[in-house]
A and B are shown apart, each in its own frame.
Chain A
């Protein structure tokens, strides 16, 4: 029984990790290519979730909503890049932090303006409702498995895009030498907009997928954003491979920590106290993991060569 429970938690951890990867991939790509730290990435996640919930409520189809979330987040990303972000590439990180912090305020309040303060709800599509039996007798929701699968497909697609296509080649070239690919005649400004929109679309996709598990509300992107920061710091900023491993590590550590720490502590102290201490310790666990990794490798597990 406990083993089945542990398996269930492990899957939950994987699901969290996969979602974190979608966020972290965009962040790390944007940093790797443009050298920009984007706090407003969580807002794009929120835009994706709101677009999906609204369009799904309109049309009655989750799938159309999902496509709308990709389109809305990519469009929001492209607009933000053209109007604001473009002016920040040659500024220092402090200016980037502040400008994107200002964008968060505007996105959050703007969304509240349009949609009100009440959370929206997004139903799981009929195709993915229900549960499958896990070995050990427990059941696991199909939708969560679908998220893991979708995340894995997107991760593989991203790998193909970056390593096999012309756009990917330009992205990689942009990471290693910005001036040179500009000199070789690649329209670097368009490339930046495309990369930013791509990162935004990934965030929006993650937001829409998670939106069906939780409620869709203002501020939903912020906890995820900070976890995604932890992920890319652990993985090495600018490295997609690092983002993938970091995301899985953070997702599984966080979920298993919350599940196991109170149980382990219960062997030593009274159950009520074990729950309290274990819960508090588990909420800090990933940050402790991050601190340990950075104490050993200050540039993360897979430092990008030119970041």
Chain B
């Protein structure tokens, strides 16, 4: 890897995030570990969205669906493991994070495939609104289906387990999330540099040319969308374990909006954009929330100023313009 200014900033960001919970631990302030874990998980979710939005130019306004589905996978598997009731076809639930992760990735990936298959027939504004509508469909389903808590949500009584460590320790759970985030960022970098990633980006830049050289943009985009959904679903499973609670609010369209906001705050299409954005967002939320009850108003104002006057986000400000548009 070449040492560009952006790579250096990325490295500093990753190191700073890692340092926070250790410092918090040393100072006896575990709350800050939770804050750092929140940043890591939101960054993971936004990294998933960044695959579709940043590389593929697919403005999905429905990624909360995958985030929430991942969360519900964690909640439902844990609830069944706790009660001992079989889940489906005699299979039981699970308290093992890695089992939950695999199921979350598969389920959200498959739902992403189904939603993408219909939504990708359209483009532009239609795509934005359709992904939003599908996410609302999942949201209303979760609200009106009483078996797993309906509107009240579902609690996870004890955080799910990971072999060999105690996940109830804030620092340990942070490290798990941090490693998963780094793996997802590596996946993003790998995909971006691969033949598939090149085709996905080319389909964003010029669909006709991609089709002319014999690549079907639809298939490339659908694959990208499904992988994107799977990564966001994985983040949802971790988020459920962080809060030990899943509710339809994870599926709400505000969540979808927030995920897009994270990417834009950090810098669209950049590897570390989601992490920079998530860090900025959580810090804003925390700092403004401490200053005023009306922090959402000021968050909106800041966001508006960023969109209108500071395109390129935090990384654009720190590391200069992105290499591609």
Contact = CB atoms under 8 A, between A and B. Distances in A.
A99 B125 contact: no
Q: How large is the interface on B (under 10, 10 to 19, 20 to 34, 35 or more residues)?
A: 35 or more
Nearest to B300: A105
A110 interface: yes
Nearest to A113: B294
Interface string A213-249: 0000000001000100110110001000000000000
Given A229-B132, A233-B130, A284-B141, A108 B307 contact: no
B132 A237 contact: no
B145 interface: yes
Interface stretch (B34-42, B74-82, B116-124, B179-187): B116-124
B300 A280 contact: no
B87 interface: no
A94 B121 contact: no
B59 A93 contact: yes
B140 A284 contact: yes
Given A105-B300, A294-B122, A229 B261 contact: no
Does more than half of chain B's interface fall in helix, strand or loop, or is it mixed? helix
A237 B129 CA distance: 10
A98 B303 contact: yes
A249 B62 CA distance: 23
Given A284-B140, A287-B134, A93 B296 contact: no
Interface in A264-286: 276, 279-280, 282-284
Q: How large is the interface on A (under 10, 10 to 19, 20 to 34, 35 or more residues)?
A: 35 or more
A84 B128 CA distance: 21
A245 B122 CA distance: 21
Contacts of B303: 98-99, 101-102, 105
Contacts of A298: 121-122, 126
Contact of B133 (A98, A102, A222, A229): A229
B96 interface: no
A191 to B, nearest CB: 21
Does more than half of chain A's interface fall in helix, strand or loop, or is it mixed? helix
A72 interface: no
A238 B126 CA distance: 11
Contacts of B268: 94
Given A94-B59, A226-B136, A287-B137, A237 B294 contact: no
Contacts of B23: none
A172 interface: no
Nearest to A106: B300
B304 A106 contact: yes
Interface of B: 53, 59, 61, 118, 121-122, 124-126, 128-130, 132-134, 136-137, 140-141, 143-147, 253, 257, 260-261, 264, 268, 294, 296-297, 299-301, 303-304, 307-308, 311
CB-CB nearest 7 A-B residue pairs: A105-B300, A287-B137, A109-B297, A106-B300, A102-B303, A283-B140, A102-B304
Given A101-B303, A105-B303, A106-B301, 7 more contacts: A88-B308, A93-B124, A94-B59, A98-B264, A98-B303, A101-B257, A112-B294
